[in-house]
Amino acid sequence: MNTQANHQFLSNAQLPEELSPYWALTSESFTLLKLSANLYTLLASPYSEIINANLSDFFNFFDQDNAEQYRDQTQFEVNGSQVIEGVKLLVSLRFTKRVECWVVNASINDLSKFNLPDNNPNYLNAVQSSHEWLSDIQEIMTTKEADIYHVAALKAKELSNSGVGFCYLLNDKAEKIRLEACVTHEAKALKLEHKWLPISSSISSLWTRCIATKDIDVVNDHPCATVLTPSVILTNSICVPVIYRGHIVGVVGVANRALPYNEADAKALLIFATILWHSIEFPKTMRAVARQQKIIKHQREQINQGMANMLNAISEAVELKDAYTAGHQKSVSQLSYLIGEQLGLSAFQLEGLKMGALVHDLGKLSIPTQILNKPSTLTHEEFSLIKQHTIRGAEVFDGMTFPWPIREMIIQHHERLDGSGYPYGLTADKICLEAKIIAVADVSDSILSHRPYRPSLGMRKLTEVLLRGKGVEFDPEIVDLCLDILAKDKKRVDHISMLTLDPVLIIEEFHTLSELVELVDNHHEPIGCAVVLNEEHKKVVGIVTQILIEHWISPLLDTAAERQSDRSLMNKRVHQIMAHQFLCLPHNASVCEAKSLLEHSGESRIIVVDSEQLPIGELNWRHIADAIQHELNSQHL
């Protein structure tokens, strides 16, 4: 007898792989034949009471009668919660058919560690299928917009094991609704007319309560057959409202499941529908944000370019009034830029520093010319008037917002670390970094430049003044950098960044020839060429010279056909007419390198770009000649 009974049991080799510590063997009628030591300890009953007892005696969620339906299957799974020895457990029983018996592999989790809903038999399924939810949401987010509602209806149907899944869209302003997608038990998408129906329509009973109450509507036994489409009749259903930003935007539903729907199904579908709608709207929102960011970025670049053009124009206006200091502001701007580079300022800060230095003496427009150009020593009253130019210059920009501290640069460039400067006697920590840089560059250019009443005082005098004021009036690091830069610059201009480049007009590929002509005409000063940037990556992809523009433009002629032809030419995009071959160098390249490149290429211009590959100006043979002349002049200082 014992030999016959033992013959039923499986050897270790016959047991399924990956058994948990909690396993058992049962007969075909689910009576326990053998179990592991861990399961025996868990059940906490005498061995004699366990063997030949039914599995349902120890796991009350296991229904013997319902399990009979699985007799012909090779494997199935039953989940539920169980209190054993006062501990609430989440149990999953996986059955695998073997010869004349079942192998039961149990997964045990202690529910006392979690705040889970009481007696929720669907919770384990929800936990175990969480990765499916994430996969489904990812699939919805990556689906083409035209198919997204079909995929959503399909996933809702699959997650709830229903025969039908459907999605309605709602237009609450027009009080209309339409069936957007419907998937049957065969996962077949039905062809729909997508008609907008009044929410108050008599055939809308399926979703009327859901919309009216803004709550879940569960119907397990429709009083009469409800028609979803001519080919789909519902027997039981769940409808959940989709609320987005406080408004009902749709209804998601499932129907025709063999088992009745319960509250857990409804809550799960509501969570799915909420995540679903955010998944649908999120890519739309991101695309809209990306478009808006692109527009804002383009507008900001245009504004910054406009600011730069305006400040350049103002700088030119100052020089027109004070002929003796012509070029002073540009020289200070270039030297400030070089000092800022050595200090490690960002490209954005360097651009602001360059702009602020270009207009640092703007307030001199308010000073009488006879005082500005007076060859003799100024009186106390005259000097007091000159000291007001910092305040007057800053007042010009009152009420204007810049991305850089332009006003502070203007008003503080004569302040000194020890408080001996003007107009407010600010001390070190109260003076902005850009103003400290401009202060040193301003003094340097003033000493090295010729004046009507004296020649240049030379590098020796400048070194003496800066070293005497180092750490007292001027920032010591800035002084050291300035002297180092000027020492290198004594005999020659080494780098492109030390040259005054010709301005360029920055445009993008989508601009038309007509727009380009208008931009060129409205530019505050003549330009050698327009530089074309790639719309996506903002890299230089071509140039348009004045010669190219003149080649494409012809005067409007008299006949309608000729005028139409001219209009077609003017609507050409810049990328259709631009020159794709051009020379380009970084701003920190040497003048010798630029000279060699021009000589060997046969071209007449080089586009100079900053560290971010954005164009900052045009270099040509005139700049090379200026650099050579500067070297010759320096030899006589």
DSSP string, 569-628: HHT-BHHHHSBS---EEETTSBHHHHHHHHHHH--SEEEEE-TTS-EEEEEEHHHHHHHH
Q: What is the mean pLDDT of residues 474-494?
A: 81
Q: In angstroms, rounded to a whole number, what is the distance separating the alpha carbons of residues 129 and 127?
A: 6
Residue that is written with structure tokens 């059940």 in the block = 43
Task: Give 246's pLDDT tier (boundaries 50, 70, 90).
Answer: confident
> If we measure between CA atoms, which residue out of 220, 207, 321, 209 comes closest to residue 253?
207
Q: In angstroms, rounded to a whole number, what is the distance separating the alpha carbons of residues 143 and 282?
A: 13
Task: Give 100's pLDDT tier (boundaries 50, 70, 90).
Answer: confident
Q: What is the mean pLDDT of residues 281-286?
A: 73
Residue 544 above 80 pLDDT?
yes
Q: In angstroms, rounded to a whole number, what is the distance separating the alpha carbons of residues 251 and 197?
A: 14
Residue that is written with structure tokens 């530089």 in the block = 531
Q: What is the mean pLDDT of residues 221-232?
A: 66
Q: Which helix H or strand E contains 448, and what residues bound it?
A: helix 433-448
Task: Give 176's pLDDT tier (boundaries 50, 70, 90).
Answer: confident
Highest mean pLDDT among 134-138, 147-151, 556-560, 571-575: 571-575
Residue 54 above 60 pLDDT?
yes
Both tokens assigned to 397: 């920009």
Number of other residues whose CB lies within 10 A of the CB of residue 98? 15
What is residue 193's predicted lDDT score, i.e. its pLDDT?
62
Residue 453 above 50 pLDDT?
yes
Residue 163 phi, psi dihedral angles, 5° rounding: -90, -20
- Per-residue pLDDT of 558-609, as tens digits, reads 555 555 666 677 888 888 889 988 999 988 788 888 888 888 888 889 998 8
Phi-psi region of 299 (alpha: psi -120 to 50; beta: other; left: phi over 0): alpha
> If we measure between CA atoms, which residue out of 250, 259, 256 comes closest to residue 229?
256
> If we measure between CA atoms, which residue out of 170, 191, 356, 162 comes closest to residue 262?
162
What is residue 188's predicted lDDT score, i.e. its pLDDT?
57
Residue 104 above 60 pLDDT?
yes
What is residue 267's predicted lDDT score, i.e. its pLDDT?
84
Q: What is the mean pLDDT of residues 320-337?
A: 74
Q: In angstroms, rounded to a whole number, what is the distance separating the alpha carbons of residues 428 and 426?
A: 7
- Per-residue pLDDT of 196-209, as tens digits, reads 777 765 445 667 77
Per the prediction, the chain carries an average pLDDT of 79
Residue 555 above 80 pLDDT?
no
Highest mean pLDDT among 445-459, 517-531, 560-574: 517-531
Cα→Cα distances 121→79, 84, 257, 610, Å: 7, 17, 17, 65
Q: Please tell me whether residue 251 adopts helix, strand or coil conformation.
A: strand
Residue that is written with structure tokens 């997508």 in the block = 194
Domains and CATH numbers, the chain: 2-121 (3.30.450.20), 130-287 (3.30.450.40), 322-490 (1.10.3210.10), 505-634 (3.10.580.10)
432, 402 Cβ separation under 8 angstroms = no
Q: In angstroms, rounded to a whole number, what is the distance separating the alpha carbons of residues 552 and 555?
A: 10
Both tokens assigned to 621: 């043979």
Q: Please tell me whether residue 139 adopts helix, strand or coil conformation.
A: helix
What is residue 120's predicted lDDT score, i.e. its pLDDT?
46
Q: What is the mean pLDDT of residues 122-131?
A: 49
What is residue 411's predicted lDDT score, i.e. its pLDDT?
94
Residue 1 above 50 pLDDT?
no
Using alpha carbons only, what angle is made at residue 362 by residues 357 and 363, rounded to the nearest 5 degrees?
Answer: 130
Residue 130 above 70 pLDDT?
no
Out of 59-63, 373-377, 405-409, 412-416, pick the least confident: 373-377
Residue 55 phi, psi dihedral angles, 5° rounding: -60, -30
240, 216 Cβ separation under 8 angstroms = yes
Q: What is the mean pLDDT of residues 88-101?
A: 83
What is residue 126's predicted lDDT score, i.e. its pLDDT?
47
Highest mean pLDDT among 139-148, 186-195, 391-400, 564-573: 391-400
- Per-residue pLDDT of 341-366, as tens digits, reads 999 999 889 988 988 998 888 888 78
Number of other residues whose CB lies within 10 A of the CB of residue 5? 10
Q: In angstroms, rounded to a whole number, what is the distance separating the alpha carbons of residues 293 and 159?
A: 38
Residue 222 above 80 pLDDT?
no
What is residue 341's predicted lDDT score, i.e. its pLDDT?
92
Q: In angstroms, rounded to a whole number, what is the distance separating the alpha carbons of residues 372 and 387?
A: 11
164, 232 Cβ separation under 8 angstroms = yes
Residue 35 above 80 pLDDT?
yes
- SS3 sequence, 468-491? HHECCCECHHHHHHHHHHHHHCCC
Both tokens assigned to 573: 């995009």
What is residue 467's predicted lDDT score, i.e. its pLDDT?
94
What is residue 567's predicted lDDT score, i.e. its pLDDT?
67
Task: Give 85's pLDDT tier (boundaries 50, 70, 90).
Answer: confident
Q: In angstroms, rounded to a whole number, what is the distance separating the alpha carbons of residues 451 and 375?
A: 9
